[in-house]
A and B are shown apart, each in its own frame.
Chain A
Amino acid sequence: MLQVILKRIAIAIPVILVVASITFFLVRMAPGGPFDAEKVVPPQVMKNLNAVYNLDAPLIIQYRDYMFNLIQGDFGPSFRYPGRSVTEMIFTGLPVTFELAFYAILVAMIIGILAGVVAAVKRNSMLDYIPMTIAMIGICMPTFLLGPILVLFFGINLELLPVSGWDSLPGDKILPSITLGAAYAAYIARLSRGGMLETLSQDYIRTARAKGLPEYKVIIKHALQGGLVPVVSFLGPATAGLIGGSFVVETIFQIPGLGRFYVEAAFNRDYTMILGTTIFFSTLIIFFNLLSDIAVLLMNPRARSEP
């Protein structure tokens, strides 16, 4: 068990380093330097700037320095915002993005699992068809459309909820969390329905029923653990989607999170910021995939012996 987990970690670390290296060289391939944007600067100033940002060293030395600093958690300075480091910006935006993602997953888990389990238990009834149709709509409706529609309806027409900001008005977290969580609620509903249907047909469930347990106990004590395995293994890969979704949601609702910083950096061609956040996001996603793999191993005893 421990061996399997250690093996996964041993694979993840070189992957992160390779990703960081590829990203570094990709960004260095970008045409034009970071400073030749708006105004022409005198050659001496240019030279000094390059020296400050370590751009005058040979590429391989730059790479060595960057990786060395990276391991110590230093992503270097931002090209666009003089005096601010990328690390600083990541740690300003990250708590906000984490909070948003946390609420979104919470919304998604509560609605999704409830709908999925009820649909599986009451199979082929209205309680199955209606939530599953809504889930289908939820999967088809992209975040960048759902968000504005919710804003238009609840924010502008009904004037019920604030439509922008974070931590500034009461209730300003509701719409962003629902917008980001909706698609996941839909996926989780479908996954938990499928998982529950499969588990409910297992022998040990029949045994539990045969020994006279009431149905709700069969479901809560026996079926849920097996039935929710697909949901848990979905949560890791979902992180990648959540980060992508946070780009959209933070842009729509003007939330000062890491996702919006990233989109702005991509717009402004703030290369160090893009480089740093890309590496950071990749590490985060690899880490969450690892976590969900481990959680699945813990939940499903039969998977433990497999490599």
Chain B
Amino acid sequence: MNQQSSLWSDAWRRLLANKAAVAGGLVLMILIVLAIFAPWIAPHSYSYQNLDLGAQPPSAEFLLGTDTLGRDLFSRILYGARVSLLVGFVATAVALVIGVSWGIVAGYFGGRVDSVMMRIVDVLYGLPFIIFIILLMVIFGRNIWLLFAAIGAVEWLTMARIVRGQVLTIKNQEYVLAAQAMGVTNMQMFRKHIFPNILGPIAVYATLTIPQVMLLEAFLSFLGLGIQPPMSSWGTLIRYGVESMEEYSWLLIYPGLTFTITLFALNFFGDGLRDALDPKISSD
């Protein structure tokens, strides 16, 4: 127990020493707070249309200007953060649940179970999932919860591979063999010995999955197959921005900038977390 807590405090120290990761983490925290408190922070309604105020450039009244229907862009970006971040976290959670359980079962039981399960992962890897998500959205309607589930169902494959690899290594460690010899049940083994030890890689990979998931959602929304109006994610805002960028370039620039900065922050934070938790595998 003692050694475990020192592993996490070591990692914490290394994370704080990494400036890019700290900056990324701060940006993320600010974004999450802004998203949660959007209804109180947003100066205007995200859906109220006032055509008299259509496409106003940024001003003191409308910090980032208004869109062609007179909606305040700053408020829309704030509300968009709720949708985009929610998709990021929920879909990643779905991917985590599927991937971690799959990987643990495959790695722990090994043998035939393992080879069948991993062969399935290999085959699924080769499939064009973007196309299947589009297919699902078309068939079952453009429902936000379906979007979460569909994206999550795509992103679990790598997680399953990583977890399986970790479990395989841990399984053959002496303390696990000792526990096995003492007659510890499978369930206890997962909880006490295996799960705590794969938590690090899971945390790292989950952080790196979030930006991928957000990209996927924005991609679908950009094509008009994701989030439907009046709700809007950053992808939807970018889509509208592109439609009117010739005259009103701020409608593209601000949502695009917000989105890119967020992806940067997530990637830097994820990389920092990886370096902190496992200095051996850090990329140089």
Residue on B nearest A27 in the bound complex, by CB: B139
For chain B, residues 203 to 246, give those with C-beta under 8 angstroms from any C-beta of chain A.
211, 215, 218-219, 222-225, 235, 238-239, 241-242, 245-246
Q: A240-B130, A248-B219, A262-B131 are in contact. List 4 more A-B contacts (CB 8 A).
A: A140-B263, A194-B283, A243-B128, A244-B219
For chain B, residues 77 to 129, give those with C-beta under 8 angstroms from any C-beta of chain A.
123, 125-129
Residue on B nearest A145 in the bound complex, by CB: B256
**Residues in A neighbouring B260, C-beta threshold 8 A:** 140-142, 145
**Cα distance, A263 to B256, chains bound together (Å):** 22
**Cα distance, A71 to B243, chains bound together (Å):** 41
**Cα distance, A179 to B227, chains bound together (Å):** 24
CB atoms of B131 and A148 under 8 A apart = no
CB atoms of B138 and A274 under 8 A apart = yes
Determine the main DSSP class of B at the interface with A: helix
**Residues in A neighbouring B190, C-beta threshold 8 A:** none
Residue on A nearest B216 in the bound complex, by CB: A244
Q: Looking at chain B, what size class is its interface with the partner chain?
A: 35 or more
CB atoms of A278 and B132 under 8 A apart = yes
CB atoms of A148 and B123 under 8 A apart = no
CB atoms of B131 and A281 under 8 A apart = yes
For chain A, residues 1 to 46, give those with C-beta under 8 angstroms from any C-beta of chain B.
11, 15, 19, 23, 26-27, 29-31
Given contacts A149-B256, A266-B138, contact A142 B215 (CB under 8 A): yes
The answer to whether B16 has its CB under 8 Å from any CB of chain A is no
Partner of B267, one of A19, A136, A197, A269: A136
**Residues in B neighbouring A262, C-beta threshold 8 A:** 131, 134
The answer to whether A70 has its CB under 8 Å from any CB of chain B is no
**Residues in A neighbouring B263, C-beta threshold 8 A:** 140, 142
Stretch at the interface among A78-86, A282-290, A298-306: A282-290
**Cα distance, A145 to B215, chains bound together (Å):** 11
Given contacts A267-B224, A278-B131, A282-B128, contact A145 B267 (CB under 8 A): no
The answer to whether A247 has its CB under 8 Å from any CB of chain B is yes
* Cβ distance B267 to chain A, nearest Cβ, rounded Å: 6
The answer to whether A114 has its CB under 8 Å from any CB of chain B is no
Binding site for A on B (CB under 8 A): 123, 125-132, 134-140, 211, 215, 218-219, 222-225, 235, 238-239, 241-242, 245-246, 249, 252, 256, 259-260, 263-264, 267, 283-284
CB atoms of A274 and B219 under 8 A apart = no
**Cα distance, A277 to B222, chains bound together (Å):** 20
CB atoms of A148 and B245 under 8 A apart = yes
CB atoms of B123 and A23 under 8 A apart = no
* Cβ distance A278 to chain B, nearest Cβ, rounded Å: 5
Given contacts A145-B256, A278-B132, contact A156 B127 (CB under 8 A): no
**Cα distance, A145 to B249, chains bound together (Å):** 13
CB atoms of A282 and B256 under 8 A apart = no
**Residues in A neighbouring B139, C-beta threshold 8 A:** 26-27, 29-31
The answer to whether A66 has its CB under 8 Å from any CB of chain B is no
Given contacts A27-B135, A148-B242, contact A247 B223 (CB under 8 A): yes
* Cβ distance A282 to chain B, nearest Cβ, rounded Å: 5
**Residues in A neighbouring B252, C-beta threshold 8 A:** 148-149, 152
Determine the main DSSP class of A at the interface with B: helix
CB atoms of B135 and A274 under 8 A apart = yes
CB atoms of B123 and A15 under 8 A apart = yes
Given contacts A148-B241, A152-B249, contact A278 B135 (CB under 8 A): yes
Q: How many A-B residue pairs lie within 8 Å, measured between CB atoms?
A: 109
**Cα distance, A151 to B235, chains bound together (Å):** 18
Q: Which of B134, B140, B238, B245 has the most CB of A within 10 A?
A: B134
* Cβ distance B112 to chain A, nearest Cβ, rounded Å: 15
Given contacts A11-B123, A266-B134, A282-B127, contact A144 B246 (CB under 8 A): no
**Cα distance, A269 to B123, chains bound together (Å):** 28
CB atoms of B128 and A142 under 8 A apart = no
Q: What are the nearest 6 A-B pairs in CB distance? A: A244-B130, A30-B139, A144-B222, A140-B263, A148-B242, A289-B126
A-B contact pairs, 20 of them (CB 8 A): A26-B135, A26-B136, A136-B267, A139-B267, A142-B215, A142-B219, A144-B222, A144-B242, A151-B245, A152-B249, A156-B245, A243-B130, A248-B222, A248-B223, A267-B225, A278-B132, A281-B131, A282-B127, A285-B127, A286-B126
The answer to whether A251 has its CB under 8 Å from any CB of chain B is yes
* Cβ distance A158 to chain B, nearest Cβ, rounded Å: 14
The answer to whether A205 has its CB under 8 Å from any CB of chain B is no
Given contacts A27-B139, A145-B260, A148-B245, contact A266 B218 (CB under 8 A): no
**Residues in A neighbouring B215, C-beta threshold 8 A:** 142
Given contacts A148-B241, A148-B252, A152-B252, contact A263 B284 (CB under 8 A): no
Residue on A nearest B257 in the bound complex, by CB: A145
Given contacts A145-B238, A145-B259, A286-B126, contact A243 B131 (CB under 8 A): yes
**Cα distance, A243 to B138, chains bound together (Å):** 18
CB atoms of B131 and A282 under 8 A apart = yes
The answer to whether A67 has its CB under 8 Å from any CB of chain B is no
* Cβ distance B271 to chain A, nearest Cβ, rounded Å: 9
**Cα distance, A278 to B136, chains bound together (Å):** 12
Residue on B nearest A141 in the bound complex, by CB: B260
CB atoms of A144 and B123 under 8 A apart = no
